[in-house]
A and B are shown apart, each in its own frame.
Chain A
Amino acid sequence: MSIRPAEFPPPWSPSEAIAPPTDPADERIEVGFLIVGAGPAGLAAAIRLGQLMEEHPETAERLGEVPVAVLEKGKAPGSHLLSGAVVNPRGLQRLFKGRKRLDEMPFYGEVHGESVLFLTRRRAVRIPTPPTMVNHRNYVASLSQLGRWLGEEAEELGVTILPETSAERLLVDGGRVLGVRTGDRGRGRNGEELGNFEPGSDIAARVTILAEGTQGHLTGAALDQFGLRSESPQVWALGVKEVWKVAKPLHEVVHTMGWPLRAGRKYREFGGSFIYPMGDDMVTVGMVVGLDYRDAELSVHDLLQELKTHPRVRSILEGGERVQWGAKTIPEGGFVVLPKQLHAPGLLMCGDGVGFVNVPALKGIHYAIESGRLAAEAAWRTLERGASSRDALASYDESVRESFIWSDLREVRNMRQAFGRGFYVGGALASAMTASKGKFPPGDLETERDAEQSLIVTDRAKSYPAADGVLTFDKLSSVFASGNRTRDDQPNHIRVQTKVPRELAELWARMCPAHVYEVGEPDGDGTVEVKLAPSNCVQCGAITAKGGRLTPPEGGSGPEYTLT
């Protein structure tokens, strides 16, 4: 009776994302360095390359007419970026050393105070801030805005950003990554070519840097192709957040644990919420839950709505107005699931795509930026006279291992896994890990694939609040608030089995914050049909963690975040 999503794998194979080049040589687009993803990692790489081009113009000449190109599947840099966020400025300071000061960067202010609350349905108890979560000297930011700003900085340095362009295949030939093939545009619901059909192109580059973020489409394919996957599988959390205009300013950064998540071990509900001030007149509130949860009725979007009804949270939002909503997954496996190697011939990988996230500290942005910067420097080394490309790319792995990314992640490497044992045991273990700076326990705790968790069904949905359109909202109006206006006749980009047991269909329907999946008619043999509305999709990636596969849809579609 107890089923696991992994029993129903999606109709997809990683080889779909790898191919040799197909365009004739004269139609192929040649660039110097190609970066996939205009997020903090990709743009940091682009900016660093731009700086190096400025410092060494003669070497830069060898990169050709388009020295650095960044592909971005969203409408613009920032459109698909979403995070809390409280940013450790270290990455940005190193990237812009000598060029920009912190007060010139688009932050919403330094963190002035913080509290961690343990919630019950009606009460909030302040608990001491765990040492890993102290945010002193960090800055509140909107990652979407930061991305937009980084994009502008990159363009000023001569980088070419290509928005509305998805990277569909990694071009590999003779064991070497040659570049990327972009996705087609202008196909109809059944894949047919519409009047304005525009085929994708092969883009060739001397080095391809993958900075795709969570659930990186080509990154996953590359790890399989080159045999670089860690033994332990990656695991994810789903974050759903809103941005609100508020009547009274919030003066501190707040994190909560406990309600509405259940502590019992069988539920495997790991996560919490964050409430951050964005200046004096805006606040962002979000709920993050590990996707190893088991209850088919769990809905992170609805947990967020429930959270807002807590008296403490409600009072922060009272008199305010929701202005944006969004959702995205976060890779949570940490150190233990980092790839065996971060490079391959012609290829470098950085950021969330390879899992540089510190879960206990809730930090990933500064690691993304630092890894992008290091990738750029390694890529540049391939231009040095007498350099061996292989050594130059290998130097990326070396520099990452010597960086704070590695030491930070190593220190907290077992904390997330500890919470698989439930909140209280996990909490105790986590404290021990902190106190020992990661030396306890020795060795590495393994992770288990999210899709391997067997489903249970409780009546959790009973307590989700009905949408009142003022404080709480349904999924469809939330999709609207993400700026999503994807055309309805696009081909379906989601790979799932569409004839599955009812519990699994229900799991997906509840899991998806954008109401893409619906439980359809029973087929009379114990399974039901799964109905899809792919144009609702905000590309959070949750389905990939729980038995399906998100592939990149047409460039330019999906959410149009500006404040997330």
Chain B
Amino acid sequence: MKIAVCVKAVPDAAAGRRIDPSTNRIDRSVELAISDFDTYAVEEALRLKEAAGDGEVVVISMGPEKAMDALRKALAMGADRAVLITDSALEGADLLGTARALAGAIDKESADLVLFGQQSADGGGACLWSAVAERLHRPVISQVSELTNEGSSVLGKRQTEFGYDTIRAPLPAVIAVSDAINTPRYPSLKGIMGAKKKPQDTLSAADVGGAGAVGTTVIALSPPPARAEARKVEDDGNAAEQIVEFLAEKRLI
């Protein structure tokens, strides 16, 4: 079974996630690491491969050249190969451009299963998997907290606001897993040492179908509005009433 895991290399949390004032985008000049959410997808892929007894796990990402260092963690966890789409033409790509490029790379792999982590740690709430599934013309299930390999299909337990749905999709399929699905393993020392030797390939924009147009723009940044009319009161016996009044005012009750 061949599983492609799409991961994103994001600025490592403590290195200070900040916005580069000259580009209005997240400053990527600092250390990059695989987004925490994506490690759940890598872990799930490894478990599926181990359960099946054989197969290949390929991690695919799009980013600057140094993102390859971050991909090595996935190799250290046990993934077999890393593919990095890197091209200055793709810098600043948005959802559309990223989906286009990833789909192009996945196409080359003929994967049975494509996994994503649920959320991008630095972009918040991106739903790349749906856009990629659309380009690949394959079924997609997101928010999966339990995944079962049925051979020619997968069964996913999907968490929605209303409870859990169980959905079946024939392979090849695109699945986005939530952080409830597993606990990612720590890379073993042997894994870390062996990571360097595993194949690490790069692809250019041309290799994955060209850069294409961008659909969204970032116009400006500003500090968040200070909480308007913040009030501080001392309890003189009526605090409970004051709170209720406040909540009513805000139409919260």
Contacts and interface: CB of A to CB of B under 8 A. Distances in A.
- The answer to whether A and B assemble together is yes
A560 B15 contact: yes
Interface residues of B, number: 18
A185 B76 CA distance: 15
Contact of A182 (B31, B185, B189, B196): B189
A431 interface: no
Interface in B187-212: 188-190, 192-193, 196
B152 interface: no
Interface string A166-182: 00000000000000001
A194 interface: yes
Interface stretch (A195-203, A300-308, A407-415): A195-203
A50 to B, nearest CB: 15
A29 B184 CA distance: 23
A185 B183 CA distance: 13
A194 B12 CA distance: 25
Nearest to A483: B14
For the side of the interface on A, what is the size category? 20 to 34
A549 B202 CA distance: 48
A562 interface: yes
Interface string A528-564: 0000000000000000000000000000000010100
B186 interface: yes
| Centre residue among B12, B14, B16, B183 by max chain A CB count within 10 A | B14
A422 interface: no
A69 B15 contact: no
Contacts of B189: 29, 162, 165, 182, 201, 203
A160 B189 CA distance: 11
A66 B16 CA distance: 33
A195 B180 CA distance: 13
A20 interface: no
B164 to A, nearest CB: 21
A426 interface: no
Interface in B4-20: 12-16
B235 to A, nearest CB: 23
A560 B14 contact: yes
B186 A76 contact: no
A195 B189 CA distance: 18
Contacts of A186: 186
A485 interface: yes
Contacts of B15: 483, 560, 562
Contact of A196 (B12, B31, B186, B192): B186
Interface in A196-240: 196, 198, 201, 203
Contacts of B193: 29, 66, 69, 160, 162
B186 A198 contact: yes
B188 A201 contact: yes
Interface in B164-185: 182-185
B16 to A, nearest CB: 7
Contacts of A484: 14
B16 A323 contact: yes
Contact of A194 (B31, B183, B192): B183
A485 B184 CA distance: 17
B16 A562 contact: yes
A195 B186 CA distance: 10
B31 A76 contact: yes
A562 B186 contact: no
A160 B183 CA distance: 27
Contacts of A201: 188-190
Interface of B: 12-16, 30-31, 182-186, 188-190, 192-193, 196
23 contacts: A66-B193, A75-B12, A76-B31, A160-B196, A162-B192, A164-B186, A165-B189, A165-B192, A182-B189, A185-B186, A195-B183, A201-B189, A203-B189, A323-B16, A483-B13, A483-B14, A485-B13, A485-B14, A560-B12, A560-B13, A560-B14, A562-B14, A562-B31
Interface of A: 29, 66, 69, 75-76, 160, 162, 164-165, 182, 185-186, 194-196, 198, 201, 203, 323, 483-485, 560, 562
Closest 10 CB pairs of A and B: A483-B14, A560-B14, A195-B183, A198-B186, A185-B186, A196-B183, A196-B185, A201-B189, A562-B15, A162-B192
